[in-house]
């Protein structure tokens, strides 16, 4: 019995490694100061130009000549006065990040040297990818497929020139870098370039490295991952830095303030306004217009953890129902607040979470993919009403900060 629990705990840890590591920790919010001064609420829209706000990222508070690089995708026709609600409900940018790996970054190879490829594992991974893609393409949803070094090399050499990642790009999806250690970012990038012929611009997977660094080293670990990525031309990062639930150390380090005016996370599960973390001055919480990296935040994997359960063997309607509540909250935010900045909401899964098993031992379960289908059908209804725009992570970053994608 005890052994079973240990094994479960181990599997849980492995599965959570990508985006959520310390569920058992408290939120760290309890003692946080929550009494802002009457003037400044430390957010864009409070009428005070302070903190990371400046005329570019918060014209509502910072009156100054407003010329270039306004973060606005809805700037067509005469604009309403800054800071006041728009008449039209602005659309929500919707994205789906797929961590394209199984438990073992060398898979579909048998081990880290990336020498012996297991064709059954490769086939199951490919079936999972094409199974998910089929659902996305049915609704025009664009995936951001984040690939680790072993999967990139394995699947591209297994399939040859017309490999799956080429097909995904041709279908309008994005193929991006994923690494669980900062030192693996380069390998994932090089394998995508050299084995797949793909030049990625988006990077991901920083949180495990940040967790290993502990709270005292978290800022520096994040800065190292950002600078390693930028050196390769990777200027967009998808992470889950939303506060709440002790998901990462930044809630506490940043006093729940990341970027500008990201005050919606309790309802929506993510920070809807992408920002340029100030790695230059050692503070990723703050926005710095000089920063070259844009962080696009997605919801944490908590929606997959039903009360009393561990990581699901296969995602079902019950899981997606929890996700839908956060998505609805994001739509409601757009309706009530009508921000004049690009706002995005996205979620993440692994390719293996549709019944393939942690090591891609099985093909995906059609029933599980059908649950994804039903959720995306709901999202597509909102897109048909003009409330949602489907985009990849780099398309969102480019919409917010034109020119950020090389
Ligand atoms: Zn991962």
Distance 337 CA to ligand 1 centre (A): 33
- The CA distance from 202 to 189, in Å, is 10
Going by pLDDT thresholds of 50, 70 and 90, the confidence category of residue 16 is: very low
Distance 225 CA to ligand 1 centre (A): 15
Distance 397 CA to ligand 1 centre (A): 21
Mean pLDDT score, 130-154: 98
What pLDDT, on a 0 to 100 scale, did the predictor assign at position 312?
A: 78
Q: Cis bond leading into 322, ω under 30°? A: no
Residue 303 DSSP one-character state: G
Distance 99 CA to ligand 1 centre (A): 5
Distance 90 CA to ligand 1 centre (A): 32
| Cβ burial, residue 230 (10 Å; 0-12/13-18/19+) | middle
Distance 32 CA to ligand 1 centre (A): 30
- The CA distance from 310 to 5, in Å, is 11
Mean pLDDT score, 194-212: 95
Distance 279 CA to ligand 1 centre (A): 23
Distance 78 CA to ligand 1 centre (A): 44
Distance 203 CA to ligand 1 centre (A): 11
Pairing of strands 92-100, 143-147: parallel
What pLDDT, on a 0 to 100 scale, did the predictor assign at position 102?
A: 96
What pLDDT, on a 0 to 100 scale, did the predictor assign at position 309?
A: 75
* Residue with token string 């990525």: 229
Distance 17 CA to ligand 1 centre (A): 7
- The CA distance from 237 to 297, in Å, is 8
Q: Residue 334 has which token pair? A: 């757009």
Domains of the chain: 91-400 (3.20.20.370)
H runs (alpha helix) in 272-316 = none
What pLDDT, on a 0 to 100 scale, did the predictor assign at position 89?
A: 96
Q: Which of 47-61, 211-225, 286-300, 344-358 has the lowest mean pLDDT?
A: 47-61
- The CA distance from 126 to 107, in Å, is 12
214: Cα separation from own chain's centroid: 21
Going by pLDDT thresholds of 50, 70 and 90, the confidence category of residue 339 is: very high
The answer to whether 222 and 283 have CB atoms below 8 angstroms apart is no
Distance 178 CA to ligand 1 centre (A): 7
Check pLDDT > 60 for residue 25.
Answer: no
Q: Cis bond leading into 108, ω under 30°? A: yes
Residues 143-182 have pLDDT tens digits of 999 999 999 999 999 999 999 999 999 999 999 999 999 9
The DSSP bridge partners found for residue 295 are 237, 275
User: Which own/partner pairs from 381-387 qualify as long-range (CB within 8 Å, at least 24 positions apart)?
Assistant: 382/92, 382/331, 383/94, 383/139, 383/140, 386/91, 387/89, 387/91, 387/92, 387/331, 387/334
Check pLDDT > 60 for residue 348.
Answer: yes
Distance 151 CA to ligand 1 centre (A): 11
């Amino acid at each position: 019995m005890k052994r079973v629990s240990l094994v479960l705990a181990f599997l849980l840890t492995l599965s959570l490694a990508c985006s959520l590591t310390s569920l058992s920790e408290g939120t760290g919010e309890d003692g946080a100061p929550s009494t802002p001064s009457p003037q400044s609420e430390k957010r864009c829209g409070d009428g005070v130009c302070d903190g990371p706000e400046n005329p570019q990222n918060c014209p509502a508070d910072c009156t100054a000549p407003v010329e270039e690089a306004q973060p606005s995708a809805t700037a067509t026709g005469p604009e309403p006065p800054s800071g006041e609600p728009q008449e039209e409900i602005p659309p929500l940018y919707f994205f789906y990040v797929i961590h394209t790996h199984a438990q073992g970054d060398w898979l579909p190879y048998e081990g880290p040297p990336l020498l012996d490829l297991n064709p059954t594992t490769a086939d199951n991974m490919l079936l999972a990818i094409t199974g998910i893609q089929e659902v996305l393409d049915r609704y025009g949803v664009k995936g951001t497929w984040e690939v680790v070094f072993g999967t990139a090399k394995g699947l591209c050499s297994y399939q040859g020139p017309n490999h799956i990642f080429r097909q995904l790009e041709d279908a309008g999806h994005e193929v991006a870098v994923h690494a669980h250690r900062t030192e693996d970012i380069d390998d994932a990038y090089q394998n995508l370039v050299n084995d797949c012929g793909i030049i990625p611009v988006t990077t991901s997977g920083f949180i495990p490295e940040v967790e290993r660094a502990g709270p005292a080293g978290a800022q520096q670990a994040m800065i190292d991952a950002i600078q390693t990525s930028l050196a390769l031309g990777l200027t967009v990062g998808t992470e889950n830095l939303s506060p709440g639930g002790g998901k990462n150390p930044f809630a506490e380090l940043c006093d729940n303030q990341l970027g500008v005016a990201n005050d919606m996370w309790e309802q929506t599960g993510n920070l809807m306004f992408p920002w340029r973390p100030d790695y230059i001055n050692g503070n990723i919480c703050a926005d710095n217009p000089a920063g070259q990296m844009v962080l696009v935040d997605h919801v944490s994997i908590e929606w997959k953890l039903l009360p009393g359960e561990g990581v699901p063997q296969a995602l079902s309607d019950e899981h997606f129902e929890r996700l839908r509540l956060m998505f609805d909250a994001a739509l409601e935010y757009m309706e009530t607040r009508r921000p004049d900045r690009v706002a995005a909401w996205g979620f993440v899964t692994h390719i293996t979470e549709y019944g393939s098993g942690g090591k891609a031992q099985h093909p995906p379960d059609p029933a599980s993919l059908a649950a994804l289908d039903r959720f995306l059908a709901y999202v597509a209804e909102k897109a048909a009403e003009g409330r949602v725009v489907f985009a990849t992570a780099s398309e969102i970053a480019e919409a917010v900060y034109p020119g950020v994608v090389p």
